[in-house]
A and B are shown apart, each in its own frame.
Chain A
Amino acid sequence: MKILEANVGPLTNFEVLNFLKSKGASKDPTRVLADVAPSEYKVVYDYLVETAACNQTPENINEFLEKSKKYDLAKAEVLNIINIRPTTPVEIYSMIEQCDDRFGDTVEELVEIVAEVLPPPPTEVASDEVTNEANLETGNKENDNKEQVNEGKE
């Protein structure tokens, strides 16, 4: 085994979740029949489906990337905000370095954008029907979105 490139590009939780969904991972009890490796996909899927990534769409994320540009956040910080979806200033403090110096009061604005643009995490697991539909719609756009994140990183 040879590692050609250790880090080709970061992925958001949403992208990983979408990839696993496209391979057939789901909460459905019949998932044992799906053509997915039993150990890892399902366990990772179970974790991701309970995070904020569950209801996100490429549109949401692109919109957030667009709106967060003016705050001059590092790529890793944007990624972290998308993954966790902090909705109070105190939550966002831990994710942004030197938040006080860099943001001051605008951090409230940023939190509002997060709450407005990114959908809230599920309190209960959404019905399968809804997630499947969302999956079909978003499946094709997944790649475009990933490239964006990669480009930004370079």
Chain B
Amino acid sequence: MFHLSQVEHTLRVPPDVLNLPLAEAIKRVLETIFVDKVIPNVGLCVSVYDIVSIKGGFILPNEGAPTYLVVFRVILFCPAVGEVIEAKLQRSIDTGLQLSLGFFDDIMVPCKLLPKPSNHQPDPEMSGGVKWFWTYQNQQQYYIDSHDKIRFKVVDVKFREVPAEPATEKPFAPMVVIGSLAYDGLGPVSWWVDEAESEE
């Protein structure tokens, strides 16, 4: 789910942080640049882990600040395909589910990757929303609702190009994780844990 990446970056350290020790000043600048941003094809940057090397310190003509070449490591969030992750339900619509980790909301479970056979009915509590349920052996209906943690398996991670023209209808998501609930042991945690306990 998380991993480290080594990145090299040329950055300008503005004078207002130069009263700090250099490493700390650079870390602060790096954090404003990278934290909470998606690096294309690598992942979502969670935190600057450490600084490996600092080179340079040139002051370019017409600049009031030194420029450094920094090699550093960042903690990235990028789920591996096949990994199982716990998330919360964010939205439930007729094309599928949207799950959230709190810090990352673009996890989609399309309806074809829900446990089979699944159906939905309108949700009275949320306008426009639906409630999905899984019918187990034609008898028992299990609902997917927001009280519970939901485990999903990562099927795909997609990175998208920033569009040239800003889309108006939907906010742009640079990284989208496609998840699946269609295996035993996935879905709301209570589906599986309660059952196992009652069998014992």
Contacts and interface: CB of A to CB of B under 8 A. Distances in A.
Nearest to B87: A47
Given A8-B3, A40-B46, A80 B9 contact: no
Contacts, number: 120
Chain B interface size, as a band, is 35 or more
Given A94-B153, A94-B184, A44 B103 contact: yes
Chain A interface size, as a band, is 35 or more
Contacts of A12: 2
B185 interface: yes
Nearest to B102: A47
A28 to B, nearest CB: 18
Contacts of B49: 19
B42 A3 contact: yes
Interface in B1-42: 1-9, 31, 35-36, 39, 41-42
29 contacts: A1-B7, A2-B9, A3-B6, A3-B8, A3-B39, A4-B7, A5-B6, A6-B5, A7-B4, A8-B6, A9-B3, A13-B1, A15-B2, A19-B75, A39-B35, A40-B103, A41-B47, A44-B47, A47-B102, A76-B82, A83-B85, A84-B85, A84-B86, A88-B192, A88-B193, A90-B196, A91-B192, A94-B183, A97-B82
